[in-house]
Amino acid sequence: MLLTSRSILYPEAQLGLEHEFLAEMRERLVKTFLDMLILLRLRKHPMSGDDVINSTAYRFSFTIDPGMIYSTLHHLEKKGFIKSPETPKGQVYHLTADGRDRINIFLESKAKILGLVLDLFIGQ
């Protein structure tokens, strides 16, 4: 933690800044890995776009722009990782076999991915 005259006199201000910074970094990471987070959600059960929006907001305590969610869903569908047959209740997204394979690769590679992220910052 960087010590400044402000942080020495007002340590709660430094904690507030750190909390704010961590919340911002968390949001950036969620948005960066949104495609994988959606695939992991769909692994449990099929969901509508609204279900994805609501479950993501509940899980991460902030709302991602619905346009970003739907854009990511469209991208995942275009790549063949999910499908969304039209139902009377609207589109419901399902994981495909390729989507399951993608999740398995991701889960098997978690340590390597974490290493890449750490190297981005520590390697500087």
* 1-14 per-position pLDDT tens digit: 455 555 555 555 56
Please tell me whether residues 28 and 40 are part of one structural domain.
no
Please tell me whether residues 59 and 111 are part of one structural domain.
yes
In the structure encoding, which two tokens stand for residue 88, read together? 């009377």
What is the model's pLDDT at position 19? 84
Please tell me whether residues 28 and 39 are part of one structural domain.
no
Please tell me whether residues 26 and 59 are part of one structural domain.
no
54-55-57 Cα angle (round to 5): 65
Please tell me whether residues 44 and 8 are part of one structural domain.
no
What is the model's pLDDT at position 50? 95
Gap between the terminal Cα atoms of the chain: 18
CB atoms within 10 A of CB 47: 22
Please tell me whether residues 78 and 90 are part of one structural domain.
yes
Please tell me whether residues 42 and 87 are part of one structural domain.
yes
Structural domain count of the chain? 2
DSSP states along 33-82: THHHHHHHHHHHS-B-HHHHHHHHHHHHSSPPPHHHHHHHHHHHHHTTSE
Low-confidence ranges of the chain (pLDDT < 70): 1-15, 124
Please tell me whether residues 92 and 116 are part of one structural domain.
yes
Rg (CA), the chain: 19
Please tell me whether residues 20 and 50 are part of one structural domain.
no
Please tell me whether residues 21 and 38 are part of one structural domain.
no
Please tell me whether residues 20 and 44 are part of one structural domain.
no
Single out the residue of 40, 110, 44, 39 nearest to residue 75, CA to CA. Answer: 39
What is the model's pLDDT at position 103? 96
The boundaries of the domain holding residue 25 are 1-32
